[in-house]
Structure 1
């Protein structure tokens, strides 16, 4: 007899994964904020607690992630508590991601860059992409609170661009949401510069200077210019995207 499968009330349209708390904010929060404004339901799953970060603590990152989630307007956020810097693409971690995908049943998954300055980014990208496929195999069994989950495979997995520039396969217009994106990033007050708290006793890092946030804005300006809008975020996809009508394309300005 087929077991009773979990019918989740937590289904979302978009599930965004970040290996560290603040990856989603830096890479795709403009897309998330715009999608929420369009009526989409979004969840965020962080793979690690960012415990190896030079500045801040697990506790401060948890509070900051919750603050950023409110700014982005996401419906759910959780942390899988894998080992920052040392997590592996193994069965245990793959099953954790499979369970998260089945829990939220997204149509679209957003995740880390295919390769990047931080080695965790590319590794987590592979982990999530593999789990997204395996989540659709019904013979792989997972459960929530002792109740079996239903198999679920998202239609698309898109990889957001992070530190290194990677030529995007498509870009998402975030022109009306750039200020809110920066606010979501600056919710991580231990990690990034804010005018409200410019000084810190902790060591200066690559991402804690005022100039770093300017590079985030500059990237969005550059990608926006490519489609004739002010700001955009870029994505890579291994699966070809198809359209049924030309109205699906963004109208470029002349």
Structure 2
């Protein structure tokens, strides 16, 4: 299956928290969108890997995406090396996305910046003809494929965006997808240990951050991205 947009996240819920509304908007516009989680979030303080699997499947259904896969890399300990790059190159060549979205270039959680550089490197390497991604005993050749753009979404840290996407009208879907991860976020009846993302303040920040980014460009809600390349427009009228 060829995808228009492939979203990578170091953990299940990274995509929903950061670009859930953008995903919902692109799906609504007829784009084929997929999510690949690098880990199962097994080191998370609350819940378990099995719970996160179920939550991720529910969130995917809410967003209406075409596919969701998990690489099952080691949470907290995966590295940007050949083995992990090759695994991602196989996925990029499998789905052949035009656009890749991935973790913030730097962030509070060490997996975010590391996942960001791993995905970025794999996207470049995926376009090289002489990299053979066939597994042992597999005769099926994967053609090279390099996405046209790699964009990094903004997460815990308030990085300065290079551009924002107007997501007015899609925040409800985003919040429903986030709520699918009920083990992770604010619930006064949940007696599990508190974490930075289980606080009421964090839950409320999802909305006010989107409102603040929207304020900067004159819309109700927006989500922010940083870019690896200079962004071009067809005409001045395309920029608002």
Unaligned ranges ≥5, structure 2: none
- Map residues 1-254 of structure 1 onto 2, 5 A cutoff: 10-143=1-134, 146=138, 147-193=140-186, 198-250=188-240
Q: Larger deviation: 74-83 or 144-153?
A: 144-153
How many residues align? The count is 238
Question: Considering only aligned residues, what root-mean-square deviation do their CA atoms show, in Å?
Answer: 1.2
The offset of 1:133, in angstroms, is: 0.3
1:15-51: CA deviation from partner (whole Å, max 9, x where unpaired):
0000000000011111100000111110000000100
The offset of 1:205, in angstroms, is: 1.3
Runs of 4+ displaced beyond 6 Å: none
1:109-159: CA deviation from partner (whole Å, max 9, x where unpaired):
000000000011001100000000000001101137822211100000000
SS at match of 1:148: coil
SS at match of 2:169: helix
CA distance in 2, matches of 1:85, 1:201: 24
Contact 1:186–1:193 (CA<8 Å) still a contact in 2?
no
